[in-house]
Structure 1
Amino acid sequence: MQASSPASNLPLVRRLEAVGFRAWPAATVIYDGSWQLRLSGGHPSKRLNCVVPLDPSDVRDMDIRLEKARKRFQSYGRPLLLRQTPLSPPMLIERLPEAGWERFETVKVMTADLAQVTLPETIDHLPMHDIGRFVDANLSVNEEDAGLKPALAEVLSTIKPPTGLFVVEEPAHKPAAVALCVQDNDLAGIMEFAVATSHRREGLGSKILASALRWARISGARSAWLQVVDNNHPALALYRKFGFSEAYEYHYWREVQA
């Protein structure tokens, strides 16, 4: 499931975008034409709070629609963000700098053929089903505010495809690494993958990733996908070691504050 040229493989981009939406569902989804407005009042994740244009030809009334989106985001207490994928209209993206927007983050979407990935015959770490425990571990590993627990639990509870919640604990039962695997038919998405700062370079990332991918393959997934910020070089090296390669990139845009 590799894409040598995202521009020439828009069906793959559309499919990965669709499974990505289902794997990380926003509380509110509104369509303005083919523009998807994703909003989640409780969780600040950019993926849950952004405008995502999904048709390269949908450019009618761009400025008016951006203004409408801005007001809707303001009603949720969120800044207006736009996520640019290969499905975004080039005319809209060209317009953004002129309208006072800036691009501020690039994320790589990567895929791997699970039939070609060498994985252990057994799963070292079995998935759990306790969302509350996973959320606590996730917030601890990522050193995030415990106040996000209800919002993160709500996101995880609304994921409809089968999920595997993976946690690696140190001997004192403190979480050291986490990963979420969402299996959507023959595609498995790796989400919320993180290793605690104090446990990096110990091989825990490889262990938990191998467990998640092994579980996905046993469960019937044929390909895996994930998203990673383009400057996270240790994660990129790990993913490439497991056979992941880039399918396409997306970018976040925001309005420049005066």
Structure 2
Amino acid sequence: MDAAELAELGRQAEQAGLNATSPPQESRIEGWLIRLSPGQAKRARCINALEPGSLPVEELLARCARSFHAAGLPLVVRITPFTQPPELDALLAAKGWPAYDAAEVLVRPRLDDVMGWPLPRGQVLHAVDALDFARQMGELKGSSALEVQSQAERQSQSPVPYQGFWLRRNTIRGWELLACGQIAREGDWVGLYDIYTPAPFRGQGHARSLCLALLQQACAQGARRAYLQVGEANAPALALYRGLGFQQAYRYHFRSPPQDLR
């Protein structure tokens, strides 16, 4: 795949990701998409500067800041290769806004080759609804009740339907949760979200088995390519996804004024 093809896949993955992470608390200010979910995911509580707008950047930032602070949220700007105006990152850096939480967006250009990979013996994939998934993830990650409620609300009301799954194994002690994750499919694209392995089962290949099973589910439903987002510092996850055939399409990071860093 050449650079132009990868760039186009990245553009499509960015749009699919924006659609899938849309919270109910969303509006636009002069072409800037602002999201005000009280949950943990920064993608659902940040500014996505999609268009340059007709106002000066300082005025746009001031308007956005009022909305974020009225909602009791820190001001967060997400910076991608698609950010408008293109110099916004440099302008925020010059203001002393630190960059943090860099992440990579990875894409898998085809899915037909994942079919036919069976789960290891004794493992079963169980579908769960958004609330059950949010509760389980909240328990595993130690999330607050508000964060659990916000995730369940955002994903149950998303314009792109989420499907949650648990990878489990039946033992003499009962069911063990080996890994969990979600897919959000829109047309030809599917996003993998919230891939998580409980600490006692890490390093045993369960996340790989889960991802293959999720990609098979999506492929059977009509998806032809996949994307996911992973923290740039998460070396084990990056190695896993690259081993599954994903490749980097682009990276993004966040910036906030120093007083809003949390």
Q: Which residue of 2 aligns with 1:227?
A: 229
Q: Does structure 1 residue 35 correspond to structure 2 residue 32?
A: yes
**C-alpha separation in 1, matches of 2:9 and 2:30:** 21
Structure 2: gaps spanning 5 or more residues? none
Of 186, 198, 204 in structure 2, the residue corresponding to residue 202 of structure 1 is 204
Residue deviations 1:129-182, cap 9 Å, x none? 433322222223334335533222111211233432111235433533110011
Residue deviations 1:63-87, cap 9 Å, x none? 0110111111000100000000111
Q: Name the count of aligned residue pairs.
A: 253
Q: Which residue of 1 aligns with 2:135?
A: 136
Matches within 5 A, 1:172-191: 172-191=174-193
Q: Does structure 1 residue 47 correspond to structure 2 residue 31?
A: no
**CA positional deviation for 1:45:** 1.8
Contact 1:52 1:82 in 2 (8 A): yes
**C-alpha separation in 2, matches of 1:100 and 1:92:** 13
Of 69, 86, 104 in structure 1, the residue corresponding to residue 64 of structure 2 is 69
Residue deviations 1:116-141, cap 9 Å, x none? 64443556644514333222222233
Q: Does structure 1 residue 96 correspond to structure 2 residue 98?
A: no
Q: Does structure 1 residue 18 correspond to structure 2 residue 21?
A: no
Q: Does structure 1 residue 108 correspond to structure 2 residue 104?
A: yes
* Sequence identity (%): 26
Aligned-pair Cα RMSD in Å: 2.4
Q: Which residue of 2 aligns with 1:81?
A: 76
**C-alpha separation in 2, matches of 1:120 and 1:236:** 24
Cα distance 1:157–1:165, how it changes in 2: closer, same or farther (>3 A)?
Answer: same
Contact 1:3 1:12 in 2 (8 A): no
Q: Which residue of 2 aligns with 1:246?
A: 248
Q: Given the two structures, how large is their TM-score scaled by the length of structure 1?
A: 0.88
SS at match of 1:25: coil
SS at match of 2:228: strand
Contact 2:125 2:167 in 1 (8 A): no
**CA positional deviation for 1:223:** 0.1
Q: Which residue of 1 aligns with 2:155?
A: 156
Contact 1:117 1:243 in 2 (8 A): no
**C-alpha separation in 1, matches of 2:9 and 2:111:** 19
Structure 1 window deviating more from structure 2 (20-29 vs 209-218): it is: 20-29
**C-alpha separation in 2, matches of 1:165 and 1:187:** 17
**C-alpha separation in 1, matches of 2:187 and 2:151:** 24
**CA positional deviation for 1:17:** 2.2
Structure 1: gaps spanning 5 or more residues? none
Residue deviations 1:176-209, cap 9 Å, x none? 3110011111001000111111210111101111
Q: Given the two structures, how large is their TM-score scaled by the length of structure 2?
A: 0.87
Opposite residue 86 of structure 1, the aligned amino acid is P
Contact 2:126 2:167 in 1 (8 A): no
